[in-house]
Amino acid sequence: MAYDSNNIFAKIVRGELPAQKVYEDADTLAFMDIMPRCEGHMLVIPKTPARNVLDASPTQLAACMRTVQKMSAAAMKAFGAAGITIQQFNEQAGGQVVFHLHFHVLPRSEGVSLGPPASRVEKPEVLAANAEKIKKALPA
């Protein structure tokens, strides 16, 4: 399948759609998921086109994983999490909904279940507050 440059994440990278950004470097962007499954749920994406892990370059994957690791540590610190769940889906049959490579970073606490996927849109002020918590937890 071909990459669609009009997908929602490509539009976020280009600044055509808003996002509550948490971290950005030359290759990747991390931002809050507007339909979080838990407090602090964010997404990490490459800034360059890749439909999913099946067509991403090793360079894109390495850049994403560096950011996933950095954001995971910050989220654990920011939310006092006991662990992190990383999710990544490929193609429709694999559960992918947005066809731009992305990794879900979900801070987890013992005994707290994840909410259902895409079940509610979070208030912008809550997303902004959670983004600030994570930003403050990033290493200087």
CATH number of 8-137: 3.30.428.10
The answer to whether 102 is a known catalytic residue is: yes
**Cα–Cα distance measured from residue 32 to residue 72, given in angstroms and rounded to the nearest whole number:** 13
> Which long-range contacts does 135-139 make (Cβ < 8 Å, 24+ apart)?
135/22, 135/23, 135/74, 136/78, 137/73, 137/74, 137/75, 137/77, 137/78, 138/23, 138/70, 138/74, 139/70, 139/74
pLDDT digits (tens, 9 = 90+) for 69-115: 999 999 999 999 999 999 999 999 999 999 999 999 999 999 999 99
On the question of pLDDT at 119 being above 90, the answer is no
| Domains of the chain, residue spans | 8-137
Active-site pick, 41, 100, 102, 104: 102
pLDDT tens string 5-59:
999 999 999 999 999 999 999 999 999 999 999 999 999 999 999 999 999 999 9
